[in-house]
């Protein structure tokens, strides 16, 4: 996890890596869940895969990442509620986007 305080001391930047473990990857339904959750926070949120960073509040941009099963993504949030945003988005990923586990597929623990 990467953390940095903002210039005002109230904003912070939080980044965490996660592995997409659900069978179908980051398709439109889980992307929609990410966007719905991200839009609950004031912080700017980006999702990065293989050097491509997109707006975490845009379902279309998230879908362009083509994050298949076992892809590693990085979620970065910057703002007054960055920590809470990353924790909430990470919980979705860890819960397998509330999809059933297929073929012994288990949610990944976030890396530090």
Kindly state whether residue 34 falls inside one of the protein's structural domains.
Answer: yes
User: Average pLDDT of 59-63?
Assistant: 96
The DSSP-derived string for 21-73 is -STT-S-HHHHHHHHHHHTTSSSEEEEEETTEEEETT-HHHHHTT---TT-EE
Q: Tell me the pLDDT tens digit for each residue of 63-100.
A: 999 999 999 999 999 999 999 999 999 999 999 888 76
**Integer Cα distance of 43 and 46 in angstroms:** 10
Q: Is 27 a catalytic residue?
A: yes
Into how many domains does the chain fold?
1
For residue 93, what are the domain limits? 2-14+28-98
107 confidence band (pLDDT: 50, 70, 90): very low
The residue annotated as part of the active site, out of 16, 27, 57, 83, is 27
In a domain, 53, yes or no: yes
Joined together, the tokens standing for residue 60 give: 């279309």
CATH number of the domain within which 69 lies: 3.30.1340.10
| pLDDT over 70 percentage in the chain | 79
Residues 56 and 34 sit within 8 Å (Cβ to Cβ): yes
The pLDDT confidence band at residue 9, using thresholds 50, 70 and 90, is: low
């Amino acid at each position: 996890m990467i953390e940095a305080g903002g210039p005002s001391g109230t904003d912070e930047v939080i980044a965490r890596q996660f592995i997409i473990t659900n069978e179908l990857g980051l398709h439109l339904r889980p992307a929609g869940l990410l966007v719905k959750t991200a839009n609950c926070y004031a912080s700017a949120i980006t999702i990065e895969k293989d050097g491509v960073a997109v707006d975490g509040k845009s379902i279309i941009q998230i879908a362009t990442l083509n994050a298949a099963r076992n892809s590693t993504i990085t979620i970065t949030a910057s703002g007054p509620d960055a920590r809470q945003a990353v924790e909430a988005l990470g919980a979705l990923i860890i819960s397998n986007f509330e999809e059933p586990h297929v073929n012994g597929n288990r949610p990944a623990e976030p890396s530090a």
